[in-house]
Structure 1
Amino acid sequence: MPYYAATNGDIAALLVGILSIVVLIVLSTILINSNIKENSIKKILFLMLFIQIIIACIDNYITIFPLMGFDARAFESLAWFSYENNVNVGRGAYNYYILNPLYKIIKVRSAITIEVLNILFNLLTNLNIYSILKNLKIKKQLLVLLIFIVALSPISLIYRTGVLRESIIIMFISYSLKSFITFMLSKKNNIEALKSFIYIGLGAIFHSGVIFITTGYLIALLSGKKNQKIFQYLILILGAIGFILFKDTLLEKVGGGDIDTIIAVNNYTSLKMAGSGYLQSITTTSLGQIVVYLPLFMFYFLYSPTPDMFRGILDIVSFILNSSIYLYFTFYGFYLYKKVKNQLTLTEKKIIKYFFISIIFTVAVFSVGTRNAGTAMRHRDKIVPLLIVIFAIIKNRAILLRERRIYERRTN
């Protein structure tokens, strides 16, 4: 049922929800107008805001919105249970640190207030991506296109609106990338490098799998100049200590570091035998077999539902609106990279390399514990900011190269 139906028509909940939307609109208007120069991008972000508010209103007052069923309802109901019974229970950190405290503050069951918060997190994500692309001096037309894709991708909009942890995790990832890019462009601001790790750590509170994004960061720090060695060794030591102390949490997605549990997670029946399950005929019995099948797990994690999985119109729509975006960024991006790699600056090459490493490790970890398209679409949304940056650098260089060739033909 829609969230508001569970309140039995509580007027206080309705008023708090309306007030939340008004505050969101005012705050978002200030943020967009103060951070964005291009009118076309302002329009895109306001459209994004409007669509997400409509999704939230439908989900709260009319009917359960598609893709916002079981998990979202479980998070919200446990948060309200915690408030009513003066306990702190839930499905992990998202309940403990966000939902439960929020209900204690507002004191009414206004689920739309939670969704409004997620909409704000998503706006901050898009503003961070915009800032990153501006710092990388991406051409305006490409900038507008990429913001359009990342802001208005339909399935991402749904996941980043519902009572799910995706929006806050991706927000912290975007802040981390923003700091790391600033560090890479200046090579002097070690504070920004440290902040990039801190932001990923904050995101990892809500899902430990994202910690593997820092693999690219670590390699970047360990391949610097000699005068950076002390800082690099410090990061490596802290990373090693953190991994030793918290490896069970960090490896949650692959079974907490225990090989038998890793195998069990990879073969979790309710995941791979779900309606949108993939590679259902594959059962792994050893870590070695998981490694052998890992490329397949990663491929389906990135691109499912694939045509061989189509069961009906919903799978086809999901492929068009989601899987095709990842296919476009990866395969077309790789094609362009082969054409322009010799024209990229050293810094651009490094950013691409480090982010590519981060994506590979993160996708590998998530793919082991994900065996159905629905879960895959949610989890792979976390790597979108990295894909956007990589593609933006490559495509921008291709545009500059084409413009230079056109100019040379005209002047000769």
Structure 2
Amino acid sequence: MTAVLCGLLIVLWIGRNNPPLQLLLLCAFILRAGAGLAHIYLFPLPDTELDATTFEKNGWQWALQGWSYAAHNFTLGAFFYSWIVSIVYLITDRSPLLIQVINNLLAVGIVLNVFKLSRYLYSEHVARKVTWIAVLMPSMILYGTTTHREAFFTFFFTLGCYHLVKWYNERSLIYFVSGSVFVIFSAIFHYAAIFCLGAFYAGIYFTYNYRIIKRGMNFLSFVSITLNSLVFFALFFAIYNFEIGAYSISFILGGDSDAIKSIVQESLSHAEGRLAYLQDFEVNGLGDLLILTPLRIVYFFFSPFIWNLQAVSDILISGEGIVYFIIIILIFRSLIFNCSKKSSFPLLVMLAAAIFIFSFGSSNSGTAFRHKAKIAPLMICLIAYPLRSNHKAKNHPARPFTARRLK
């Protein structure tokens, strides 16, 4: 309980200068800490029997080996989270509640990132509205509580997105570097972040060259395009041959049939249990992949469907699918506005990349539920325009945009 009280004091201190924000953060922490206490003392929360237990137990077993094995046990990927748990246990002692409180604080940080992103793009009034969605979202509460890696990944990923949005509008190099570093750090927990960052870099490259060509070519323009093309293609070939886990990113860029099949087989290996979907679809090349992707996205967001409901947890997942349906409609309503202002470009590109990667890597509604919690904050930030347009501008004027064109 000491950890919970310390976490509460930290949250109160973070929001000390902004009472409305403090209320949001306080509610977020109380919901997540309360869920954690209920999980330990009353009843187990959903999706806490496999990965959550494994991560925590691995951390404890590594901690028992002592400090001399800390460097030996260091790893990247999913079990980097277990390594962090082991370091915490080496400093203190075994306490799953302490790990949950750390996740609670990171989850509060995610809510804070949603608020800051929405305020930067729209206004503080709108930010308060949309942040309530992040506070109350069931999947964000669950994975901001249990001993999963989602809280670590999502906090640093959303923080990186916030800094990249600021760089895109203000052209401050410090934001570009910090944003890239935060996203890369989040990739340590889940490699999908690398794809998202690569998509953002590619988008910047093509829009930059388009603007140069549109203004008219001269010698300086030619030199500029040549230099940034050399940098881009150097990064491209580095990423092209970069391996994520057992796979090469070239399966997407090059359309290698065998590589695509191996990725699909890995995805289907998780398609087990009563919540599995699309188990019988075969992908023999890039064309099949492109055809199958929209269907996978539909299942990713909205399964299990009503006719598949068999348990209380199914109702929770399916019910949140309705929330995502509303969010997607609001995003499309905001799309023209966000594209015209260009300030949301980093979010739009990275969200599109994340949806593709996570929907492609999920063949089970339970896994999809967990992955959706990673991208929900970005989706929430992009629904604000309809809320802004329904508010009286004279009382709460929207924050002016300061996007600069590349020169």
TM-score, normalised to structure 1's length? Answer: 0.80
Preserved CA contact (<8 Å) 2:304 2:314: yes
Q: 2:81 aligns with which of 95, 100, 103?
A: 95
Moved more, 48-57 or 159-168: 48-57
Larger RCO (CA under 8 A, 6+ residues apart): 2
Residue of 225, 235, 242 corresponding to 1:239: 235
Change (3 A) 1:230 1:196: farther
Partner of 2:265: 264
Q: CA deviation at 1:72?
A: 0.4
| Matches of 1:273 and 1:260, distance apart in 2 | 18
**Counterparts of 1:253 and 1:117, CA distance in 2:** 33
| CA apart distance, 1:68 | 1.9
1:359–1:383 Cα contact (<8 Å) kept: yes
1:255 deviates by 8.8
One-letter code aligned to 1:176: G
Q: Which residue in the other structure is 2:400 paired with? A: none
Give 1:314-353 correspondences, 5 Å limit: 314-320=313-319, 322-335=320-333, 337=335, 341=336, 346=340, 348=341, 350-353=342-345
Deviation at 1:61, TM superposition (A): 3.2
For 2:99, which of 101, 111, 114 is the aligned residue?
114
Who is 1:207 aligned against?
190
Q: 1:345 to 1:98 in 2, by over 3 A?
A: same
Structure 2: distance between partners of 1:254 and 1:267: 20
Question: 2:56 touches 2:82 (CA, 8 Å); kept in 1?
Answer: no
Q: Structure 1 residue 397: deviation in Å?
A: 5.4
Q: SS of the residue aligned with 1:33? A: coil
Supply the AA of the counterpart residue of 2:192: G
What displacement does 1:403 show? 5.8
**1:173/1:199 contact within 8 Å kept:** yes
Q: Who is 1:28 aligned against?
A: 11
| Structure 1: distance between partners of 2:323 and 2:291 | 27
Secondary structure at the residue paired with 1:267?
A: helix
Match of 1:105 in 2: 91
TM-score by length of 2: 0.81
Give the superposition deviation at 1:370: 0.9
CA shift, 1:353, in A, is 4.5
5+ residue gaps, structure 1, are 1-17, 405-412
2:389 is matched with which residue: 388, 392, 398?
398
Looking at structure 2, the residues matched to 297 and 29 of structure 1 have their Cα atoms a distance apart, in angstroms, of 41
Change in Cα spacing, 1:291 to 1:29, as seen in structure 2 (3 Å) is same
Separation of aligned partners in 2, 1:193 and 1:222: 17
1:126 pairs with 2:111: yes
Q: Secondary structure of the equivalent of 1:78?
A: helix
| CA 253–243 in structure 1, closer or farther in 2 if over 3 Å, else same | closer
Partner Cα separation in structure 2 for residue 160 and residue 242 of structure 1: 34
- Map 1:158-237 to 2 at 5 A: 158-186=142-170, 188-214=171-197, 215-224=199-208, 233=229, 236-237=232-233
For the pair 1:51 / 2:19, whether they are aligned, the reply is no
Contact 1:267 1:284 in 2 (8 A): no
One-letter code aligned to 2:136: L
Q: Distance in 1 between matches of 2:82 and 2:10?
A: 26
Contact 2:106 2:152 in 1 (8 A): yes
What's 1:374 paired with?
Answer: 366
1:289 aligns with 2:272: no
Q: CA deviation at 1:110?
A: 0.5
Please state whether the residue corresponding to 1:315 is helix, strand or coil. helix
* CA distance 1:397–1:49, shift in 2 (3 Å): closer
Structure whose residues are more often helix by fraction = 1
Identical pairs, percent:
20
Cα 1:235–1:316, aligned 2, differ >3 Å: closer, same or farther? farther
User: How far has the Cα of 1:286 moved from its partner?
Assistant: 4.8
CA drift at 1:124: 1.3
